[in-house]
Each structure stands twice: as structure tokens, then as C-alpha cells.
């Protein structure tokens, strides 16, 4: 997300390590530059570019996954109650995520809240209209423990790579994601010599145990 002109996108595409990439960018000028860079590197079959707001896309993606989860649960319940359905294949994706890695390079204000919500979705997040901020931020300490237990087995991605130029926003977003994702590694890069700008790269991985 926030792919810009495709610097990270093209590098990942050329690495040979990724089988499919969806690049999301709002600025139409950057979208055109990204598409041109993809074409120049012959990666059109590997990378799809989506022009739009990352927060809005995340909200729509969350709704799509909830619908798939609900259809999957309805199918399982029907299959258990009717033996004639037990050998029927389900064509839906069972609410599973289409992508294993989320790479974000947001502006200084950090991630849209809907991006965090989407990344932290669990199979129990079935209410499409539930906008309870406790799913991202938590509320009282007692409620935090309950939410963390719920999120401990959730999460849409196995790994998140966060490229940050806004340190306060990065700290805020890491706290938001911490019930589901843990920091594996962190590096700082001086991409703009003789300035006070430092880029921070953080690797987060989905937790394997419940976080309390």
C-alpha cells in the first residue's frame, strides 16, 4: 500500500520471491509512473496496480472477507446438518487472505485506521457494520486483555513490512498492531544525507500465541 512510483513494488517483483503483487496508490501521477516502471521491467503479469485510497480499499476488502467468512460458516453448518452436502466443494476462499505479506510505505501521518482494522481481522469479526474502535485501540485494561485474546489467533497477513518516515505515527501504529503482530526486526536508513530525515523499516510477524 502507498506504493508511490513503484520503487519497492518493482524491486519485489524482480526478486523472484513473490508470486503476485497488488500495488495500491491514490495519486494518479504516481500511479502512471508505477505502471510505466512495471512495464519497463516486464512485470505486467505479476503486478496489478489499483488506483484508490488505501483506507477505502481496506474497508471494502474487510467487508468482502466478512462476507466470505459468513458464507463459509453457513456452508459448514448446512453440510453438518444435511449429509447430502458433505461432499460438496465450496468455491469461496473460506475467508482466507489472498496475500501473505503487507508492505506499507505511508506518509508521515502513518497508516489509515481502516488499514489496521483490515490487517487485524479475525474469523470472529462477523459484524460488517461494527466500527468499535476497541478492535484497534482497546479500551480499559480489562477489555484490552479480552481483545488481545481474540486477536491472538487472528490477523490477515503472516508478515507486515512497514517503511516509515514519521516516527510518532510509527510508534502509534505499532501499538495498534501489537495484539496480533510482533516486531521481528528493525533498521534505520539515512536516505537523505545532511537532513534530519531518517527512514525506519520494521518487520512484523503474526503472533503464534495469544498476546496479553
Q: Which domains does the chain have, with CATH numbers?
A: 1-52 (3.40.50.150), 97-206 (3.40.50.150)
| 33/210 Cα distance (integer angstroms) | 42
Residue 182 pLDDT: 95
Active-site positions read 165
Residue 14 pLDDT: 93
Contact partners, residue 197, CB within 8 Å, separation at least 6: 165, 191
Q: What is the CA radius of gyration of the chain?
A: 19
Residue 83 pLDDT: 43
| 100/81 Cα distance (integer angstroms) | 33
State phi, psi for 143 to the nearest 5 degrees: -70, -30
Rounded alpha-carbon distances, angstroms, from residue 113 to 48, 152, 205: 24, 19, 19
Residue 56 pLDDT: 87
Q: Record the cell numbers describing residue 19, joined without a space.
A: 508470486
- Say how many C-beta atoms besides its own lie within 10 A of residue 135's C-beta: 21
Binding site annotation covers 113? no
**Sign of the torsion formed by the C-alpha atoms of 124, 130, 132 and 136:** positive
- Helix H segments across the chain? 7-15, 28-40, 54-81, 113-119, 141-151, 167-177
pLDDT in tens, 100-138: 889 999 999 999 988 998 888 764 454 444 444 434 433
Residue 74 pLDDT: 61
Closest residue by Cα to residue 58 from 115, 132, 137 = 115
Residue 33 pLDDT: 95
Residue 77 pLDDT: 53
Positions of the chain with pLDDT under 50 = 80-81, 83-97, 123-124, 126-153
Binding site annotation covers 105? yes
Binding site annotation covers 199? no
Amino acid at each position: 500500500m502507498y506504493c508511490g512510483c513503484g520503487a519497492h513494488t518493482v524491486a519485489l517483483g524482480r526478486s523472484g520471491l513473490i508470486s503476485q503483487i497488488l500495488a495500491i496508490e491514490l495519486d494518479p501521477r504516481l500511479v502512471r509512473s508505477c505502471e510505466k516502471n512495471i512495464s519497463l521491467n516486464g512485470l505486467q503479469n505479476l503486478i496489478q496496480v489499483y488506483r484508490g485510497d488505501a483506507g477505502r480499499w481496506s474497508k471494502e476488502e474487510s467487508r468482502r472477507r466478512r462476507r466470505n467468512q459468513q458464507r463459509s460458516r453457513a456452508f459448514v453448518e448446512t453440510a453438518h446438518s444435511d449429509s447430502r452436502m458433505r461432499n460438496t466443494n465450496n468455491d469461496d476462499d473460506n475467508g482466507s487472505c489472498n496475500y501473505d505479506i503487507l508492505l506499507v510505505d505511508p506518509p508521515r501521518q502513518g497508516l489509515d485506521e481502516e488499514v489496521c482494522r483490515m490487517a487485524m481481522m479475525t474469523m470472529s469479526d462477523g459484524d460488517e457494520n461494527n466500527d468499535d474502535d476497541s478492535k484497534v485501540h482497546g479500551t480499559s485494561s480489562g477489555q484490552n486483555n479480552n481483545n488481545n485474546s481474540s486477536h491472538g489467533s487472528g490477523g490477515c497477513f503472516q508478515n507486515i513490512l512497514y517503511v516509515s518516515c514519521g516516527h510518532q505515527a510509527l510508534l502509534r501504529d505499532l501499538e495498534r498492531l501489537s495484539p496480533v503482530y510482533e516486531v521481528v526486526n528493525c533498521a534505520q536508513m539515512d536516505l537523505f544525507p545532511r537532513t534530519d530525515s531518517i527512514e525506519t523499516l520494521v518487520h512484523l510477524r503474526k503472533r503464534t500465541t495469544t498476546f496479553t
